[in-house]
Amino acid sequence: MIEVRDARKWIQNGARRVEILKGISLTIPAGQFVAIVGASGSGKSTLLGLLAGLDTPSSGEIWLDGVPIHNLAEAQLAAVRGRKIGFVFQSYQLIATLTALENVLLPFELNLDGNGLKQARRLLEEVGLAERMDHYPVQLSGGEQQRVALARAFVVEPPIVMADEPTGNLDSANGRLVLDLLLERNRRAGTTLVLVTHDVEVASMADRKIVLRDGQVVEDTLPYEPEAVASEQAQNG
């Protein structure tokens, strides 16, 4: 579903080049839940931005569901993003002048044909906001705003959902609710889920944990495979 080939990202500051990502290569199969972790400044949000097509690598390749997004024109890239990726920001990024329902509906209207009103209403009901559809973001709590953002990310039924610290601004109860909604979508719809987090508990729930340090992958823990483990134990006696 996602393939990264020697992706590098740097910023030129006069004569000095600041390297943010130093050659990342990885493959994420469809349906996997991947947690990207690392200290502040390790490059994890930058990597997520590249995977989502929100930024382009300085060199290297990013393939999304078979499409090479690293060299697409912005209009083509926006079309791919709009149909294939649901993105959840830590700071919600809702449009203040639109109601919860209108915020959720917007990606559908921009990327798909037909009427998405029924779908948007259903998703808001699923995230527990049936009574808040006509409220504006300023009238919603942080947890409610993030649930609106989740419904918005799901509305086009994208094969990939990406989230950048989606629980970072929430208390533990709301954070757990948001995480449960993301995991339910991953399991029920087979959505590929890539999540950046500082939370050790959140990372422990993932199928796979990728640890970044100084712009490089220093740990890539693959899913637990009982058969493989049993085979290795047998070989080791």
pLDDT at 223: 58
In angstroms, the Cα distances linking 52 to 84, 123, 197, 198 are 9, 22, 16, 19
Q: What residue ranges of the chain have pLDDT lower than 70?
A: 223-237
Model-level pTM? 0.87
Task: Tell me which residue has tokens 């791919």.
Answer: 80
On whether the CB atoms of residues 20 and 38 are closer than 8 A, the answer is no
pLDDT at 217: 95
Q: How many residues does the chain have?
A: 237
Amino acid type, 110: L
Task: Quote the DSSP letter at residue 139.
Answer: G
Instruction: Round to whole Å and give the CA distance between 35 and 211.
Output: 8
Instruction: Round to whole Å and give the CA distance between 24 and 36.
Output: 13
pLDDT at 231: 45
Instruction: Round to whole Å and give the CA distance between 179 and 114.
Output: 30
Cβ density class 91-117: b for 16+ within 10 Å, e for less? ebebeeeebbbbbbbbbbeebeeeebe
pLDDT at 202: 87
pLDDT at 234: 47
Provide the strand spans (E) within the chain.
2-13, 16-28, 33-37, 59-64, 67-68, 85-88, 160-164, 192-196, 208-213, 216-221
pLDDT at 112: 86
Ordered structural domains, the chain, with CATH: 2-235 (3.40.50.300)
pLDDT at 117: 94
CA dihedral angle for residue 173, residue 179, residue 183, residue 186, rounded to 10 degrees: 150
Task: Quote the DSSP letter at residue 71.
Answer: G
